[in-house]
Amino acid sequence: MRMISVNLPVTDLAAAEAFYRGLGFVQNEQFSDERTASFVVEENIVVLLQTRDRFADFVPDAGRMGDPAQSTTVLNALSAGSRQEVDDLLERALTSGGKPWMPAQDHGFMYGVSFTDPDGNVWEAVWMDPTAVQ
């Protein structure tokens, strides 16, 4: 079984933890400490929030480490089971300290929204009509 771990640099770990809890992700205390917070999105997806100094421990040239508040460094996209789930995730993000990013995209068979966490890391939530994929 493969897993994906999304590692994100954050400036305020407590604010980031509150945001990701607000999205409904579950914190894994076993892999969390004073510089890292591990959140389970679902069984095979984990988000690791790391203070910028901790994140720098994993970057060969920390001086070149990107700052998501200054420029987009990555787009993280999560699939959703319905258009309503997409809208619900956006609403939770905005009420938990996130900001809207791009306008909603509605292509009929595909619908998506995007937002940033408090540090500027971009997330998208996307629903695609399963009958359109066949």
Question: How many other C-beta atoms can be found within 10 angstroms of the C-beta atom of residue 60?
Answer: 7
pTM of the model: 0.91
Say what percent of the chain tops pLDDT 70: 99
Examine residue 120 and state whether it is found in any structural domain, yes or no.
yes
18-64 pLDDT, tens digit per residue, is 999 999 999 999 999 999 999 999 999 999 999 999 999 988 886 77
Examine residue 29 and state whether it is found in any structural domain, yes or no.
yes
> Is the model's pLDDT at 66 over the cut of 90?
no
pLDDT given for residue 133 in this prediction: 74
**pLDDT band of 129, cuts 50, 70, 90:** very high
pLDDT given for residue 134 in this prediction: 67
DSSP states along 27-79 = E-GGG--SSEEEEEEETTEEEEEEEHHHHHTT-TTGGG---TTTS---EEEEE
Helix, strand, coil percentages (3-state) for the chain, rounded to 5, are 30, 35, 35
Q: Which domain holds residue 24?
A: 4-60+72-133
β-strand pairing of 75-79 with 122-128: parallel
H/E segment holding residue 6: strand 4-10
Examine residue 79 and state whether it is found in any structural domain, yes or no.
yes
Examine residue 66 and state whether it is found in any structural domain, yes or no.
no
Examine residue 67 and state whether it is found in any structural domain, yes or no.
no
**pLDDT band of 67, cuts 50, 70, 90:** confident
What's the average model confidence in pLDDT over 75-102?
97
Structural domain total, the chain: 1
Examine residue 65 and state whether it is found in any structural domain, yes or no.
no
CATH number of residue 95's parent domain:
3.10.180.10
